[in-house]
Amino acid sequence: METKNVTLLTQFVLTGLTHPPQWRIPLFLLFLVIYLITMLGNIGLITLICNDPGLHIPMYLFLGSLAFVDTWLSSTVTPKMLLDFFDRSKMISLSECMLQFFSFVVSATTECFLLAAMAYDRYIAICKPLLYPVIMTNKLCTCLLTLSFVGGFIHALIHESFLLRLTFCNSNVIYHFYCDVMPLLKISCTDPSLNYLMLFIFSGSIQVFTITTILVSYTLVLLSILKQKSIKGIKKAFSTCGAHLLSVSLYYGPLLFMYVRPASPQVDDDDMMDSVFYTVIIPVLNPIIYSLRNKQVKKSLQKFLKRNA
């Protein structure tokens, strides 16, 4: 009987965001607009970087890769969420659920590594400007980008393999708006203790490593600038580092809260709000934080618009 129940659970129900019925259309329109702006901003930034030879340097290659990952992350989650606003069944198959989870983990983990690589790039550029062309070569840049994506893929593969050991026989209702690991563990018939342990070890280690790299890099940057006693240099450093640290804190805050804190068996609406923040809001903010404050990107955009006017 147990085997039969396990076999039948090949379809899951995503409850989606908790909201009053009258908010359905306004929320749909809000998230649709955010998604379209995300696509326009990030794809536009990638197009600018590809078309302007002056932006073919490590800093902008990292930025273009971040825009690509933000597009990937948002597209993994938002389209399904938008459809579920009007889909009464809100069904998703087991294979689609696993694929969505895998895609989410690859993109989210890759973004963590990219943010760390970008912080290291800024450290070399500001603290060792004369050695920057020697240290941050295109070869090293390519290597860091490759490691970021490979690291994301391996991390996703680990959690996906541990998810496949689970059975779902008591409930097929996922209290979330996409297939994330925590809601899946909460409805598993198999003891998920090993999954929680692997989540804490691997996700925790990645976040601690990347956050430490970012904080150390920007601390050294700020100390280096303050030693110069240049008001203009200090303002520039705080402007650059402040924008990057804002993006990092907005991204890592919900992730740390979700995956490193002790697991709770209860469904928490705050979890979904945190997830909305780093899967929907952050991808639309990054192009603004990193690009609209950048003079070279602005100049490239102006040249691009003049050529196509």
Q: What's the domain range around 51? A: 2-307
Q: Quick one: pLDDT at residue 218?
A: 86
Q: Quick one: pLDDT at residue 166?
A: 87
Q: Quick one: pLDDT at residue 129?
A: 87
Taking each helix axis as running N to C, give the angle between helix 24-51 and helix 295-307, from 0 to 180 degrees, rounded to the nearest 10: 90
Q: Quick one: pLDDT at residue 113?
A: 96
Q: Quick one: pLDDT at residue 54?
A: 84
Q: Quick one: pLDDT at residue 224?
A: 82
Q: Quick one: pLDDT at residue 147?
A: 97
pLDDT tens track, the chain, 309 positions: 344 444 456 788 998 887 778 888 999 999 999 999 999 999 999 998 988 888 888 988 999 999 999 999 999 999 999 999 988 888 999 899 999 999 999 999 999 999 999 999 989 988 888 999 999 998 999 999 999 999 999 999 999 999 988 888 878 888 889 999 988 898 888 889 999 999 989 988 998 899 899 989 988 888 887 776 667 666 666 666 666 777 777 777 666 665 555 455 444 566 677 788 888 988 998 888 877 667 777 777 777 777 776
For the chain, how many structural domains are there in total? Answer: 1
Q: Quick one: pLDDT at residue 6?
A: 47
Q: Quick one: pLDDT at residue 222?
A: 81
Global confidence as pTM: 0.89
Contact 226, 207 (CB under 8 A): no
Q: Quick one: pLDDT at residue 1?
A: 39
Q: Quick one: pLDDT at residue 160?
A: 95
3-state secondary structure of 25: helix
Strands 173-174 and 91-93: unpaired
Q: Quick one: pLDDT at residue 3?
A: 45
CATH classification of the domain holding 262: 1.20.1070.10
Taking each helix axis as running N to C, give the angle between helix 24-51 and helix 58-84, from 0 to 180 degrees, rounded to the nearest 10: 160
Round to whole Å and give the CA distance between 44 and 64.
Answer: 10
Contact 159, 199 (CB under 8 A): yes
